[in-house]
A and B are shown apart, each in its own frame.
Chain A
Amino acid sequence: MKYRQARWDEPLIFELTSNQDRETFQLGDDYFAKLGKETLTEVAQDIVRKEDPNIPNLSEPEVVRHYTRLTQMSYGIDVGVVPLGSCTMKYNPKICEDLANDERIIYAHPYMSEEHLQGLLEMLYTLQEWLAELTGMDVCSLHPPAGAAGELTGVLIIREYLQDKGYTHKDEILVPESAHGTNPASAAMAGFKVIHIPTDERGNTDLNALKAAVSDRTAGIMLTNPSTLGLFEEKITEISDLIHSKGGLLYYDGANLNGILGIARPGDMGFDIVHLNLHKTFAAPHGGGGPGAGAICVKKELADYLPKPLVRREGGRYYLDYNIRKSIGRITWFYGNIVPAIKSFIYLMMLGPEIREVAEVAVLNTNYFMKKIKELPGIDLIYGRERWRKHEVVISFENLYRETGVNAEDVAKALLDRGIHAPTIYFPLTVPEAHMVEFTESESKRTIDEVISAYKDIVRQAYEDPGKLKGAPRNTSVGRLDALRANHPRTLAPTYRYVKKRNIDG
């Protein structure tokens, strides 16, 4: 496919005027501004801001045009395919955006009395119930603002639960080597020691290594199932029995739930705690990096440890329940990220019991792609070569790199030139020169075919004219960027102010 991204030489917002102030958008009215000014003259002058911050004064149309041009140099799922593995970049239904941004939600104050917000609370309560059903867990809370915050919630629950049982010696959390980096990071944040477990050739957690690692000190295991390799943990029941037999808990990282949604449930597999990423599996948009919304779901025995508050129902009335006996406390102020949660509520309301279709087609898409792509030279699957994938597949360009010098990054940049957002690259760390590809259910066969032929074309070029690929991308707003310069202490440029102060050539 031919692709030409917009290339505006759009200046920084700071450089849009030549010191000629415009009349800016006003929210301050004369009467009160005057009163405020008078008040300021009466307070100690060393706390009053004397110099305006260096923020340009622009008119409304100038601001709108500036940011609109920036959107034209951006690429989201509505522009084209974004097959970032483990990110579940599915279509964000417009109806969800349309409804969730209702004034009654975006202007709702978190301390408004529950009596005035019964409708909103009913939706949140209902969503909690639906998520419990989908995961096979007993209680779900919408408290964590994102997946990683859900993980922190989960490991803190493990910590407090074990402490209450008197198991203070349990200070190790097991994490497979293929896990998302958030798992070890979250476990470490809660004060646990992280023990890494290798992956076997079939792509499962190495059961022998796991048995060797499990001990009295095991507090729990954090598993992503299907794994980041897109493979279902075949021995999940054995793992569950093993960990439980040592008094440990099982934590389910819900990042990859899309591959088994409505087909199998973590609760039935023996997991005690589950976090969900509503912005992945349940179609709330990623917003260029956030906001997300996480849910945390637990089995009955752990319900007393959930963060405060929970939305509950009593006699047809919905309320925020702060009476959670052993609560770990608060991971965030207020109640979590409500607007994305409402989007997920709408998404689930529209799919209803047919939700299984999502996983079926997502998995169908992955395997179709895998079947075609593994025929290409220079590509290998490394783990579980003969197994079917679930939501994603990881391909390795190690051979291509060895044979042509073209690496996973070069291939990624060449995809950009064809109007395709690159997959997640160099992850998981256990797969050399990795591309982690996830199409979700939202991509058509035609799009997947386009991606396959783009890969074909790039691999062919790698063998014929590898030097050319080093020059990619060419059709994007800018050419390949200098990461060394970006990260070098002498040329580091994190803000405009920093650049000006240090006189960095920009």
Chain B
Amino acid sequence: MPHYWIPNSTKEVKQEILKETGVDDVEEFFKDIPEQLRLKKELRVGFGKPLLEHEARRKFLEILSKNKFTGFRDVHRVFLGGGVCVHYIPSVVRAIVSRAEFYTAYTPYQPEINQGILQAFFEYQSLMAELYGVDIVNASMYNVSTAAAEAVRMALRVKRGRKRILIASSAHPEIKEVIRTWVKGLNVRLEEIPYEREDGELDVNVLRAKLSDDVAAVYVESPNFFGIIERKLRDIIEITHDAGALAIVNANPLSLGVFKAPGELGADIVVGDAQPLGVGLNYGGPSAGILGIQDRKELLRQLPGRLVGMTKTVDGSENGFMLILQTREQHIRRERATSNITTNSGLEAIAAAVYVSLLGAKGLKRLGEALLGRTTYFLETLRKRDIKAAPLFEKGLYFREVTISFKGRDARDVISQLEKHGIHVGPPLSRFYDVMHDCSLLCLTELHSKDDIDELVSKLALVLGGETG
């Protein structure tokens, strides 16, 4: 049947092309498919018949309206954390990534006709390098979880022969799972380093004790899954280096307006997720994984993913950009490639570049301060009121996300009570840990006003019943 997305689908055009090809029927082209494999029946795809655009729009909205969540109108009451939080997507970012020259392009294999997109990738790499304090950042991974897994695999290649990886137990549980899955088949041992009960930071003594010359890398997050900033990050990196291992640090890009860049502190490999940089939540994906390294040959040689570099025209007259060091990649190196990654998160990387360009160093610093200010404000407000809830780690430095303990009350129950009041908090930590059934994460971002936070605290008081009246 002809379709308006398919120019050559009308009968007349088809006939004309068939005639010029010297064939009577399209079926002729499929005769090399064994007869018994050729489908005779109509497939049950779609809603019984092709839908016209207005019908599809109607159907789509009909289904989506079954969501109770209504979008931006609701986000001020969404305090969910767990690695990603509600953040504003500036209209400028949407406008640029909605330009079809960008979003309908393929990977720029022909650089001369795609200089714009290549420059945008180069700027993404360069801006992230400034933010994370490293010299080289690739053109993106799928998201931080796969960036972390690739970083671990990379460390194992760089430190060939070393078969242990130490992972902060305070790392995002789903990232830990991803790492575990991606190293299956490599015959390596993943071991966790516990966190301090007082402040939620990595237990440096255990780290020191566990490190030896068979450890390839240490993976640590700041802020970690509990929202805690690792204040001893420099020490952690130094101890790791003393044992000859690589330090992989996952940092939230929005924390880097106010906190020292992991690269500056000596991390060999840095990773992060571009989600808060105007990319959106997207129900978990897509996002872009930031992956950067120090300027060292052995790291660069093992770097996975695409990399854009600046160069000149053959005649030397002009600057230009192209994909570089492709011999690391699968289409050339095949089973000896540094990774199988091909499609990455190009458009999200551009979104991140636009976002960071838009805010500038000033805007990023200010946003970092304002996020930290909200965390402080929330904790102070909570402390001031007599509510049966407190931060789990009393001496920890929280940023954006807070681990809150409901003092024996089942967190799942508290969360569902809050939901009845239109407030979304979570995830409950029992989802990931056997202990901590009375704990939950919550997250405070620029989308939450002072009133929104006050409202959150009031509702907590109401549900937890600590306050009378």
Interface range for A: 35 or more
The digit string for B355-399, where 1 denotes a CB below 8 A from any CB of A, is 011111111111111111111110000000000000000000100
Q: B6: which of A133, A134, A333, A442 is its contact (CB, 8 Å)?
A: A442
The digit string for B95-136, where 1 denotes a CB below 8 A from any CB of A, is 111111111111111111111110111110111011101011
B135 touching A109, Cβ below 8 Å? no
B16 CB–A CB distance under 8 Å:
yes
A36 touching B258, Cβ below 8 Å? yes
B178 touching A92, Cβ below 8 Å? no
B421 CB–A CB distance under 8 Å:
no
A55 touching B361, Cβ below 8 Å? yes
Enumerate chain B residues within 8 angstroms of A151, measured Cβ to Cβ.
Answer: 340
Q: How far is the CB of A211 from chain B (nearest CB, A)?
A: 19
Q: A152: which of B50, B340, B357 is its contact (CB, 8 Å)?
A: B340
Q: A116: which of B67, B86, B123, B311 is its contact (CB, 8 Å)?
A: B67
B112 touching A333, Cβ below 8 Å? no
A365 CB–B CB distance under 8 Å:
yes
B109 touching A288, Cβ below 8 Å? no
Q: How far is the CB of B168 from chain A (nearest CB, A)?
A: 16
A367 touching B370, Cβ below 8 Å? no
B427 CB–A CB distance under 8 Å:
yes
Which B-chain residue is minimally distant from A336 (CB atoms)? B285
Q: A36: which of B107, B282, B370 is its contact (CB, 8 Å)?
A: B370
B32 CB–A CB distance under 8 Å:
yes
Complex CA distance for A372 and B17, rounded to whole angstroms? 11
Q: How far is the CB of A344 from chain B (nearest CB, A)?
A: 11
Which B-chain residue is minimally distant from A54 (CB atoms)? B130
Complex CA distance for A119 and B376, rounded to whole angstroms? 36
B63 touching A119, Cβ below 8 Å? yes
Enumerate chain A residues within 8 angstroms of B177, measured Cβ to Cβ.
Answer: 329-330, 333
Enumerate chain A residues within 8 angstroms of B29, measured Cβ to Cβ.
Answer: 363-364, 367, 388-390
Which of B114, B307, B310 has the most C-beta atoms of chain A within 10 angstroms of its own C-beta?
B310
Q: B376: which of A39, A263, A348 is its contact (CB, 8 Å)?
A: A39
Enumerate chain B residues within 8 angstroms of A288, measured Cβ to Cβ.
Answer: 102-103, 105-108, 114, 117, 120-121, 346-347, 350
B106 touching A84, Cβ below 8 Å? yes
B369 touching A40, Cβ below 8 Å? yes
Interface range for B: 35 or more
Q: Interface stretch among B139-147, B204-212, B238-246?
A: B139-147
A108 touching B112, Cβ below 8 Å? no
Q: B343: which of A46, A286, A328, A477 is its contact (CB, 8 Å)?
A: A286
A102 touching B71, Cβ below 8 Å? yes
With A55-B360, A95-B57, A189-B185 known to touch, is A352 a contact of B103 (CB < 8 Å)?
Answer: no
B433 CB–A CB distance under 8 Å:
no
Q: Interface stretch among B213-221, B329-337, B457-465?
A: B329-337
Top 5 closest A-B pairs, CB basis?
A191-B185, A334-B284, A352-B46, A103-B71, A289-B346
A399 CB–B CB distance under 8 Å:
no
With A112-B69, A335-B285 known to touch, is A70 a contact of B117 (CB < 8 Å)?
Answer: yes
Which A-chain residue is minimally distant from B61 (CB atoms)? A99
B50 touching A191, Cβ below 8 Å? no
Which A-chain residue is minimally distant from B85 (CB atoms)? A109
A352 touching B47, Cβ below 8 Å? yes
Enumerate chain A residues within 8 angstroms of B450, measured Cβ to Cβ.
Answer: 31-32
A108 touching B282, Cβ below 8 Å? yes
Q: How far is the CB of B246 from chain A (nearest CB, A)?
A: 19
A377 CB–B CB distance under 8 Å:
no
Q: How far is the CB of B110 from chain A (nearest CB, A)?
A: 5
Enumerate chain A residues within 8 angstroms of B72, measured Cβ to Cβ.
Answer: 103, 107
With A28-B369, A32-B370, A36-B372 known to touch, is A82 a contact of B284 (CB < 8 Å)?
Answer: no
B343 touching A29, Cβ below 8 Å? no
Enumerate chain A residues within 8 angstroms of B82, measured Cβ to Cβ.
Answer: 110-111
Q: How far is the CB of B49 from chain A (nearest CB, A)?
A: 5
With A133-B45, A332-B178 known to touch, is A24 a contact of B362 (CB < 8 Å)?
Answer: yes
With A24-B360, A71-B116, A148-B330 known to touch, is A110 a contact of B14 (CB < 8 Å)?
Answer: no
Enumerate chain A residues within 8 angstroms of B38, measured Cβ to Cβ.
Answer: 263-264
Complex CA distance for A393 and B29, rounded to whole angstroms? 13
With A68-B99, A79-B100, A473-B112 known to touch, is A443 a contact of B373 (CB < 8 Å)?
Answer: no
Given contacts A289-B347, A349-B51, 11 further A-B contacts (CB under 8 A): A53-B361, A68-B99, A74-B116, A75-B114, A105-B283, A145-B142, A286-B343, A350-B51, A364-B29, A442-B7, A445-B7
With A185-B334, A353-B42 known to touch, is A109 a contact of B344 (CB < 8 Å)?
Answer: no
A209 CB–B CB distance under 8 Å:
no
A352 touching B139, Cβ below 8 Å? no
In chain A, positions 36-94 with a C-beta closer than 8 Å to chain B are 36-40, 43-44, 46-49, 52-58, 60, 63-64, 66-79, 82, 84, 87, 89, 91-93
A24 touching B50, Cβ below 8 Å? no
With A12-B123, A291-B285, A349-B51 known to touch, is A473 a contact of B258 (CB < 8 Å)?
Answer: no
Which B-chain residue is minimally distant from A329 (CB atoms)? B181
Q: A33: which of B5, B63, B354, B370 is its contact (CB, 8 Å)?
A: B370
The digit string for B1-18, where 1 denotes a CB below 8 A from any CB of A, is 111011111000110111
B137 CB–A CB distance under 8 Å:
yes
Enumerate chain B residues within 8 angstroms of A335, measured Cβ to Cβ.
Answer: 283-285
Complex CA distance for A76 and B114, rounded to whole angstroms? 9
A333 touching B9, Cβ below 8 Å? no
A262 touching B39, Cβ below 8 Å? yes
Q: Interface stretch among A244-252, A400-408, A457-465, A485-493?
A: A485-493
Enumerate chain A residues within 8 angstroms of B18, measured Cβ to Cβ.
Answer: 364
With A28-B366, A55-B361, A152-B340 known to touch, is A287 a contact of B229 (CB < 8 Å)?
Answer: no
A192 CB–B CB distance under 8 Å:
yes
Q: How far is the CB of A255 from chain B (nearest CB, A)?
A: 10
A191 touching B184, Cβ below 8 Å? yes
B104 touching A286, Cβ below 8 Å? yes
B436 CB–A CB distance under 8 Å:
no
Complex CA distance for A476 and B306, rounded to whole angstroms? 23
B411 CB–A CB distance under 8 Å:
no
A76 touching B260, Cβ below 8 Å? no
Q: B99: which of A71, A332, A368 is its contact (CB, 8 Å)?
A: A71
B469 CB–A CB distance under 8 Å:
no
A376 CB–B CB distance under 8 Å:
no
A117 touching B95, Cβ below 8 Å? no
